[in-house]
Structure 1
């Protein structure tokens, strides 16, 4: 039998009823106390999907493939005297990181999983830092001479290609394109991180309220 207590406080009467576990109403209250898991999960990532993660992920995948492909081409063509971007391997590790980030963003469009959103945030923090480092590497390469053409000594002989200005122009143009790509990838990562962080905060708030 349910126990009922009545309390008067400040002109307000509070009636408290304690329902035993054997009462059929207890099962009904337990089943109706929370939202279904899919509905809660969908609510958790709804804000993140406003950023169109599939589109952002596609951009990261596309630019990641470009980085890896040019990394292979430049590594083969500059095997003797590699430039700074090739020697640092920035085209490979940034390209692979972009492929991972893009795949996670595309997958987050398909699944209602707040844990996947958190992983996307962590990976995109890495993308933000990596794009800044990559932009610095490419900018440094623009300001330096072609590898093998430095004048370290007064009587050092230079290779024939050092006197071809078009080689330096082509190298600077390629590095400039990669700097632009880094800027694009940085903006995409910041957008994904901003919406993801907002979704995680909303998720924590929802859990506290429930």
Structure 2
């Protein structure tokens, strides 16, 4: 392990070598905002959608959703207005997962190690159990997944949510803040793209 990522901790007579690194901008909320910014740039427009090249096709937003300027963190008023007028919610889990993976792998061409799981940063292969915290936990709880759920369970739940009509989702989850509810499509796809597509955790690994 490269020395800049290694930390030694001793418990009793045993010394452990721990990997330590802070992955800035990889949090789900920040990543979601990065996706929106990338949509404006046209980074995730499939070639098959050439007829819609003047629109922002968002695969991570359920169909039927229309954004409001107050909910956007984009720059100028003009930029927000342009985004709203040309925005189209696509609601496609597979495409959202692909877009999330693109974000996670950004900069990988600059990797100077044998293998980089996320971008250009060294990271050892994961071993042992994964403990879900914060948004990982909240997403699993929202979809009512069991404590030791498979990633394949999350794929099914995320696919159903992403491809449902926004009006039906709002009616079903009336107690949730709209902006929070909106994030669960991206959140489910992002978790799969991170844990399975990037970190290579098996879909049937508990």
Query: TM (normalized to structure 1)?
Result: 0.27
User: Looking at both structures, which has the greater relative contact order when contacts are Cα pairs under 8 Å and sequence separation is at least 6?
Assistant: 1
Structure number with the higher helix fraction is 1
Query: TM (normalized to structure 2)?
Result: 0.27
